[in-house]
Structure 1
C-alpha cells in the first residue's frame, strides 16, 4: 500500500511545494494534479529535476491526474486531446509514473449513449496504444456530473478495448453520487483493473441543486453521506495493494495551511485503511 498526497487536496500549492509537503507529512507518493504540473513545466520546470527532487525524498509519483475531456470528438478538440495525451504520457515516463488518469468532460453529453461510448473507446484506445511503448497505463474516472457517470459504463469501455493498460480508479464519491454502484460491485472487481483509489466523502445533490463538486465534496471523510468503511472494505477484499490518495475538494479546507491539511487528510485516511 502506498499513501499518496493528492495535489487537489493542496489546491493552491505548487508542484515543488507538494513534494516537500508530502515528504514532511509522511506520504510515500504523490498524485500530481495536472494543472500544477503543466504550469510547472511551462514556467521553467522540467521532469528531470522534478524526478531528482522526488528521489531525494524517496517519493513515488503514483499518478498524473487528470487528462480531461476524453469524450472530445470534433476534429480540432480531438487533435488537442491526443497531443496533450502524448505530452503527458512522455512526462509520466520521465517521472517513472505508472499511471495517467483519464476523465470525461461534457463534450458528448448531448449524444446518445452508444455514440458517447464509441467516442470514448476510440480516444482511449489511441491514447493507450501510444502509452504501451512507454509502459504507461491509464485509469478511467467516470464523472458523476457528466453523462459518462457509472462503473458499468467504464467497464463496458474496458471490455471493448483490446489492451491491458486501461483500468479504473475507485473514487468513492463518483461511485456513490449517481446511486448505481455499491460496495459489493467494487468487491466483485478484478483487482488487476483497479489502478488507484481516491479516498473521499461527500453527498448527493438535493432536488434542483447543481452538480458542483466544490459544494458536494467539501467534506472530510466521515462527515458526508458515504459509507466510507464499506467502500474501503470492498476495495481491500479484492486484494488491491496499490496507491490510496485522499482527495479533498473543499474551498474551505484549501485555505488551511498546506501542511496542516495534508496531515489531516493522511491521518483521516489512515484511520480507515490501516
Structure 2
C-alpha cells in the first residue's frame, strides 16, 4: 500500500507546505490539487524548485485532483476544458505523476441518460488521448450529488471510451452516498481498473436538506455513517495494492493544526487498514 496525503485534507495550506506535512506524518506521496499547484507556479514557484522539494522530502505526487466538470459541451466550454486537461497533463509529466483525476459535476444533470453518456464518452476519449501524449492515466470519480454517481455507470463509460489509460477511484463517501453501489460490486471489480482509493467517511443527505459536501462530509473516519471496514474489505478483495489517500473534506477539522490533520489522517488509515 502506498499512502498519500490528500490536498483536500489540508485545504488551508500551500503546495510546498503539503510536501513537508506529508513527509513529517509518514506518507509516501501527495495527492495535490491543481488549485494549490498552479497557485504556487503562478506566484514565483517553478517546477524545478518544487521537484527539489519533492526530492528533499522524498515525497511523490501520486495524483493531481482534479480536472472538474468534464461534461462541458457548450460553445467554448468544451475547448476550455480540453485546454485545462492539457495544462494539467503537462504538469503531471513534469512531476512524474502517473494519474490525474477527472469528474463531472452537475453540468449534465438536466440531460437524459443517453445524452450524458454520449457527451462523457466523447469528452473522456479526447481527454484520454491528451493524456496518452504525456504518459498520464485518468481516474474517474463518480460524484454522489450528480446523476453520474454509481460504479456501474463509471464502468460502462470506461467500456465505451475504450482507452487503456482510464480507470476509477474508489471513493467511500461518494459511492455510499450516491446510493446505487454496494461494497460487493467493488469486490468483484477488475483490479486493473482501480487507480486509487479515497478513504473517507460522512453521511447521506437528509430529507429536505440540500447537497453540501462541507456539511455531509464534515466527519473523520468513524464519525459518520459509512461502513468504512466494509469498503476496505471490498477493495482488498480485488487484490489492489496501490495508492490509498485519506480524504478529509471537513471544515471542522480544517481548523486543526495542519500537522495534526496529517497525522490524524495517517493514523486513521493505518488503524483501519491493519
TM-score by length of structure 2 reads 0.98
RMSD of the alignment, in Å? 0.8
Q: How does 1:230-249 map to 2 (within 5 A)?
A: 230-249=230-249
Q: Aligned residue for 1:31?
A: 31
Distance 1:178 1:138 in 2: 21
Q: Which runs of 5+ in 1 are unaligned?
A: none
Distance 1:185 1:162 in 2: 21
Q: How does 1:164-183 map to 2 (within 5 A)?
A: 164-183=164-183
2:143, 2:178 within 8 Å by CA — same for their partners in 1?
no
The answer to which of 106-115 and 41-50 deviates more is 41-50
Q: Aligned residue for 1:211?
A: 211
Shift in Å, 1:94 = 0.4
Q: How does 1:70-81 map to 2 (within 5 A)?
A: 70-81=70-81
Distance 1:44 1:236 in 2: 42
1:201, 1:228 within 8 Å by CA — same for their partners in 2?
yes
Q: Aligned residue for 1:251?
A: 251
Deviation track 1:197-243 (CA, whole Å, cap 9, x = no partner) reads 00000000111111111110111101111110010011011011110
TM-score by length of structure 1 reads 0.98
2:101, 2:139 within 8 Å by CA — same for their partners in 1?
yes
Q: How does 1:4-153 map to 2 (within 5 A)?
A: 4-153=4-153
Shift in Å, 1:102 = 0.2
1:200, 1:247 within 8 Å by CA — same for their partners in 2?
yes
Distance 2:149 2:43 in 1: 35
Distance 1:178 1:23 in 2: 33
2:30, 2:62 within 8 Å by CA — same for their partners in 1?
yes
Deviation track 1:35-79 (CA, whole Å, cap 9, x = no partner) reads 111211211222222122111211111000011000101121111
Q: Which runs of 5+ in 2 are unaligned?
A: none
Q: Secondary structure at the match of 2:180?
A: coil
Shift in Å, 1:162 = 2.1
Q: Aligned residue for 2:267?
A: 267
Shift in Å, 1:173 = 0.4
